[in-house]
Structures are given as C-alpha cells and as structure tokens.
Amino acid sequence: METTLRGVGVSHGVAIGEVRHMGTAVLEPPAKQIPAEEAEREQGRARQAVEAVAADLIARGNLAGGEAQHVLEAQAMMAQDPELMADVERRIAVGSTAERGVYDAFAAYRALLANAGEYLAGRVADLDDVRNRIVARLLGVPMPGVPDSDEPYVLIARDLAPADTALLDPALVLGFVTEEGGPTSHSAILARALGVPAVVALPGAGELAEGTVIAVDGSTGEIFVEPSAEKRTEMESAAAARKAALSASSGPGATSDGHKVPLLANIGGPGDVPAAVEAGAEGVGLFRTEFLFLDDSKQAPSEEKQVAAYRAVLEAFPEGRVVVRVLDAGADKPLDFLTPADEPNPALGVRGLRSLLDHPDVLRTQLTALSKAAQGLPVHLEVMAPMVADRADAKAFADACREAGLQAKFGAMVEIPSAALRARSILREVEFLSLGTNDLAQYTFAADRQVGAVSRLQDPWQPALLDLVALSAEAARAEGKSCGVCGEAASDPLLACVLTGLGVTSLSMGAASIPYVRATLAKYTLAQCERAASAARAADSAEEARVAAQVVLSGE
C-alpha cells in the first residue's frame, strides 16, 4: 500500500527504484591490552593506516574533481590531525591496540564536538567516516560504503560522508535518502553538484526494507513507499516535462516579460568551472576561496599560488561577472594560523572578516593576489567580505581593498540579521550586497545549519527569512545598488521566483540547478513573482509560504 514520507529535498529530480542500504559501519574493536614491547609496532601500524586513508581520500578527490575534491582534501587533513594522532599514540603506549587506540581517540574528539553544541558538530559524520576507514584498514575488513549492485537503486543511509557522495555513480545510484543532515550539509552540496536527486533529514529512513520500491522527489522532499502505477506515471511524466523544459531553455536568466535576473554559479575553485560554463552560468556569484587555504592549515598559500587559482577562474568568464568571497575561516573551517583554538562557540566568535581584520597580512596578500590575477582581463571582478555585522565592518573591508590597490567593486555578505536590518547603512561603504541565506537562516533562528533535528528552521521559505531578504533588497534599490542571493535558497526554482519578486537582482547557485531556475523564471512575469513574494511573506510558516507562492504562480 502506498504511503508518503516527507524529509527535506536538497537536490532536484525524481528517482524511482529499489532500496539499498549503505554498508554496515565498522564494529567496535575489542578492548584488549598489549604488552609494552608491542606498543611501538602498534603505533607504526596506526600511522600507516592513517596515511593510507588520507591518501585514499585525496585520490578519491582527484577522481571526483571540483568542489568534492576540496571537501575530501579537508577530510584527509582531519585524518592526519597531529593532536588526534598524538592521542592515538598515547593510548597505545598504555596498552591499547592500534585499532582500539584510534577508535577511542576519535570517540573522545567526537564527544567533545557533539556535546559542546558547536557549529563544528556538523562535521561529526565526516569524523566518523574517517575513523571507520582507519579502523577498517587496521582490522583488514572491507571499507564501509556504497553497496555493490549491478542494477540501479536508491541509496538509504543514516548520513553520507563526502568520500561516499563524491564518487556515487549516477548510472547506478538513482537518488539517495538520509536520516540526518540538512540542506547545507556536505552531502547535500555534493548531491546538487552531481545532479543526483536527494532527500535528507527523513526520520526512520533506515527502517525501509531492503528491496522496497520507493519514489523520491528531490524537489519537494516527498518519499512515496511502494508507489502505485498512477503515482509512478505521474512522477515520470512530471520529470519528463521538466527535462523537456530544461532542454528548451537557454540564454540569460529572465522573467517571461524580459526582466533580467542574471544566473550565476557557486564554485569552490577552478575544478568547478567546466560544469558552470556548460550550465550556461552568466558568471560566478560566489567563489569560495577558503578551499584554497584548506590545503595547508598551518600557513596561508603563497601569493603566487593564489594568483594562479584566481586567474584560472577569471579567464573562464570573459566579460562576465565574478564575485569572489575573501577567506571565510573559522567555525567549521578552522585554520591553525588564523583561527583561535579555544573559542567556546566558534560560530559566534572570530570568524570570517573578523579573523581577517585580526590578521591584516593575510587579507592584504589575498586582495593583492586578486588584483594581479585580474590584470589585463576584461572580467568584471567583484570582491566581498563574509560575516559583515555593521557599517564599521564594511568600511574596514573597503579600506583594505583600496589600500591593496584592488580595481574591483567591493561588497558585503548579508549573513547576520544585523546586516539585513542595517543594510542601507552598510551600503554607504560598499557597492553591493550578497545574501548568504544558509548562514542568515542559522543566525536568525539560532539553528545550526548542519543539524537535521532543526532543519525546519533552516528552510529558506521561512517568512522571517524572506522579510530579511526583502529588507536588504529594498535598501539596495534605495541606494541604486545590487543585491544578489548566493545561498542555497537560489537553487529552488519556485523560491527563485519569489526572491526575484522580493527585489533580488541576481541569483547564484550550484551549476546543476541553473537550468531548472532558468526554465522556471521564464514562465512567469515580474508582476507574478512580486505577487508570489507578497503571498509568501504573509504566511506564518515555511510550508504555508511555499504553498501560497505556488497558488499564485499556478493561477489557482
């Protein structure tokens, strides 16, 4: 009998197939003691396993390329963390086996993150995956991971680590569903990059029996268990119609009456450029430069290395707009040379622009590298600061850009409610705003963006969040300046129409979402988008806002 479940849709598309579950996690190794004379040998085994796992993660990243590569390289760094390794060796020195020492050291660090309630708790799944891979290698058992199958299937997991998500074969994995995670988790971001339909934060997903047929709607978050023939036909027809609309849509983003809405791509580095170009991106709305810095947490990359990476991206968009976010370190992206090690709550501490202003040499080098990278190119370079709280922050950043001789527009990200509430003041110092809706939701609702239990409050359809978007867009319009959205909200085609109606002037998203947004925008006039935006803001919940906008746009 057909039943319906609902999670959070994080990657567009429809998948219908049999359930296959992620491989079983590594069992807890026995807690047996070893003689003192074996400690050195066991410590050597542990070091070899760590290095082998790190090398495997880097190799997977090289195969995957793009943003996945940066995520996996960061995970490899997690495996090689010197403090963790020192703890492993201490435990072995007092009698633990290599595998038990690894297990217990990672468990202690995991508990520290999870129990502290910090922003870093969102990386617990990544940490567990690293631990499982190291322990599996030491025990000589198969790595946990994606199941072997000759037939296409829908993957079910408690959560998916980046190493698994990055190398999913879309020809076999029709879609995936997880019990945990959120719309801005690593798995969600990589799913969108792969173009694989995905639903996260679905309680009880693990109870779906192996072989059960389910239909997954990655747009709505709905899961239909044992769907009827009628439901299958309905979903397949909708998917076919969507595919036809995508094929017919091309060119710049615009509403049906010609109101232009540039559609830009979010990228993490040069590896993400080909997909953005293929999708018809009109430029880059968010170049996340922190992945370049994560290659070595001990020191910043040289000016020469930065120039090469930035120029590779700028050259791909001649005459286009490229918006670069300067280093956003801290919280879940700690860097030893920049980030305080003893912050009780990193998400609310010295993060983003705050870190850069404390280390002006790092900011100066990055701005100088961007200036050199753009020399001689016709690209329209724009540079923005993360975590701007007020006009003083905006002025400090603009002054730093001018002192570095940067010939570009200077902007501020709106990720903190204070920036939205005082947007007009901030715009007296900078030339544009860019809304990071992921963090803006997190700080508006006090809801960690990586915790599935509070994913309801991370829904970008929340009317309070739409109010803050509207405030920012109205301020930009009053100052004659632009206000874009580069958070994941822009990747939702229906919400993209609402954001346009709120006055947002550009939308930036993962490359895979651009065709969907372009095709949907082209169906409606600006006036329709404005009416849908008003209806959504008048609602009292995210679901009511979504329905209200849909009713307006469908003409019901």
**What's the sign of the alpha-carbon dihedral 191, 472, 451, 326?**
positive
* HSE-up of residue 101 (Cα within 13 Å, Cβ side): 29
What tokens were used for 483?
């206000």
Residue written as token pair 């753009």: 374
Report how far Cα 373 is from the mean position of its chain's Cα atoms. Answer: 26
Q: Which of 441, 468, 532 is nearest to 8 (CA)?
A: 441
Active site residues: 186, 486
Alpha-carbon distance of 94 to 100, in angstroms, equals 12
Query: How many other β-carbons are positioned within 10 Å of the β-carbon of residue 210?
Result: 11
What tokens were used for 492?
């939702």
Count of residues making up the chain: 556
Residue written as token pair 């570009």: 408
What tokens were used for 407?
């010939």
Alpha-carbon distance of 166 to 187, in angstroms, equals 8
What tokens were used for 306?
């930065």
Buried-state track 523-550, b at ≥16 Cβ within 10 A, e below 16: ebebebbbbbbbbbbebeebeebbebbe
Report angle CA 312, 313, 317 to the nearest 5 degrees.
115
Q: In the beta sheet, which residues pair with residue 384? A: 325, 411
Residue written as token pair 């999670």: 7
Report angle CA 147, 133, 64 to the nearest 5 degrees.
65
The residue type at 537: R
Report angle CA 6, 160, 225 to the nearest 5 degrees.
30
Report in angstroms the alpha-carbon separations of 310 from 301, 374, 399, 436.
12, 8, 22, 21
Alpha-carbon distance of 400 to 357, in angstroms, equals 9
Alpha-carbon distance of 517 to 494, in angstroms, equals 8
Q: Which of 430, 424, 415, 7 is nearest to 204 (CA)?
A: 7
Q: Which of 69, 274, 197 is nearest to 516 (CA)?
A: 197
Alpha-carbon distance of 235 to 230, in angstroms, equals 9
What tokens were used for 285?
């709305």
Alpha-carbon distance of 267 to 336, in angstroms, equals 24
